[in-house]
């Protein structure tokens, strides 16, 4: 598909370049040919009427009678050959350069399409497995001739829990797809980072309370250029993870501060931590560190940090992590100075 597009684009480059080159050649030929005609006429006049001319012929350093028609015809032929050769050379050079440029032009589109295809295949894979399990469970229950009402209710309850998880997965996929849109426009304004963090705390407070976890805010007043909804979502993801991967009765710090010319949003926990080998991958879609541990103990599909990364990118911020197993993790989002406004 991309090879076809590359060849078509090269062809269009060639059409444009060769049209311009052809026009130039025509103008050059036309003007020089006019001069040749003038010489032809002068030559005829000289031979017929024996008029003595000076001026242009003196410059040629030829006696007027020696400019014969054969010489002019030869000069015209050479001009046509030279112009033809120049156009062939331009065709060759423009073809090669055009093919190279077309490749470069299409490269970002190609990587975008590849990424979207990968996203679709990852998403369908993640959706298919639980859907198949759910279908199998319902079919087995339906075929059971001795099924009692309590058993049926139990299966339905389990299925609803599965559906809820799938719904959460599809919501996360939609959010991620939203942030992946190449031309997606997110309205930006100056936002209080502290307010975004407070909104996130309010959102996750029930989860923290359920695990008796204390959320400790350490806030300075900082404003950044961003989208209030997305920034709250970013803080919710980091806090939600911190709660998920913390032990009961732990403390989690959420920090908003100025650091030099930058603004910082950080979430620090004392939970299970992340093994060093997993650190480079945790922002990848569907990546879950130590899958056996996390999947059985915690629900999640490895999309949260991928969304957090997209939101950071959208704000031209960087997201980083420092972590040690069984000591804890700190996720830090750094907003650069150009988008930072003191509040």
Instruction: Count CA atoms closer than 13 A to 72's CA, side-chain side.
Output: 17
Question: Total residues contacting ligand ADP (rule CB under 6 A)?
Answer: 21
Which member of 165, 180, 186, 294 binds ligand ADP (CB under 6 A)? 294
Min dist CB 288 to ligand ADP, Å, is: 3
Residues 312-341 that bind ligand ADP (CB under 6 A): 329
Q: Which is nearer to ligand ADP, 15 or 291 (CB)?
A: 291
Tokens encoding 205: 């407070």
Out of 179, 301, 335, 340, point to the residue binding ligand ADP (CB under 6 A).
301
- List 83, 263, 272, 311, residue binding ligand ADP (CB under 6 A): 272
Least distance to ligand ADP, CB of residue 114, Å: 21
Comparing every residue's Cβ against ligand ADP, the nearest one is: 300
CA 314 to chain CA centroid, Å, is 11
Yes or no: say if 214 and 203 are a contact pair by the CB < 8 Å rule: no
CA atoms within 13 A on the CB side of 186: 21
Q: Within its chain, how far is the Cα of 30 from the centroid?
A: 50
Q: How far is the CB of 142 from ligand ADP (least distance, A)?
A: 32
Q: In whole angstroms, give the CA distance from residue 274 to residue 302.
A: 14
Distance CA 256, CA 220 (A): 6
As a whole number of angstroms, the distance between CA 99 and CA 92 comes to: 11
232 vs 329 by CB, closer to ligand ADP: 329
Among 57, 245, 335, 340, binds ligand ADP (CB under 6 A): 245
Q: What are phi and psi of 88, to 5 degrees?
A: -65, -40
Binding site for ligand ADP (CB under 6 A): 241-242, 245, 269, 271-274, 282, 287-289, 294, 300-306, 329
């Amino acid at each position: 598909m991309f090879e076809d597009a590359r060849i078509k684009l090269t062809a269009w480059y060639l059409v444009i370049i060769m049209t311009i080159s052809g026009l130039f050649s025509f103008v050059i030929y036309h003007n020089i040919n006019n001069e040749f005609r003038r010489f032809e006429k002068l030559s005829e006049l000289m031979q017929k009427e024996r008029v003595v001319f000076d001026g242009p012929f003196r410059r040629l350093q030829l006696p007027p009678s020696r400019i014969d028609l054969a010489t002019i015809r030869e000069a015209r032929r050479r001009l046509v050959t030279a112009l033809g050769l120049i156009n062939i050379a331009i065709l060759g050079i423009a073809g090669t350069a055009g093919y190279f440029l077309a490749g470069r032009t299409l490269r970002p589109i190609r990587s975008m399409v590849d990424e979207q295809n990968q996203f679709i295949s990852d998403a369908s894979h993640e959706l298919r497995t639980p859907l198949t399990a759910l279908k199998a469970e319902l079919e087995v229950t339906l075929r059971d001739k001795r099924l009692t009402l309590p058993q049926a209710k139990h299966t339905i309850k389990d299925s609803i829990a599965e559906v809820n998880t799938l719904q959460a997965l599809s919501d996360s996929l939609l959010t991620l797809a939203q942030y992946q849109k190449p031309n997606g426009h997110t309205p930006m304004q100056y936002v209080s980072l502290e307010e975004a963090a407070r909104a996130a705390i309010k959102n996750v407070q029930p989860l923290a309370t359920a695990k008796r976890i204390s959320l400790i805010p350490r806030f300075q007043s900082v404003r950044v250029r961003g989208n209030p909804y997305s920034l709250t979502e970013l803080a919710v993801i980091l806090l939600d993870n911190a709660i998920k991967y913390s032990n009961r009765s732990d403390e989690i710090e959420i920090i908003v501060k100025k650091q030099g010319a930058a603004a910082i949003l950080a979430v620090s926990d004392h939970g299970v931590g992340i093994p060093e080998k997993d650190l480079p991958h945790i922002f990848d879609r569907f990546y879950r560190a130590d899958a056996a541990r996390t999947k059985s103990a915690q629900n999640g599909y490895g999309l949260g940090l991928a969304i957090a990364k997209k939101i950071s990118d959208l704000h031209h911020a960087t997201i980083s992590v420092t972590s040690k197993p069984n000591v804890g993790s700190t996720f830090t989002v750094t907003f650069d100075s150009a988008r930072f406004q003191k509040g």
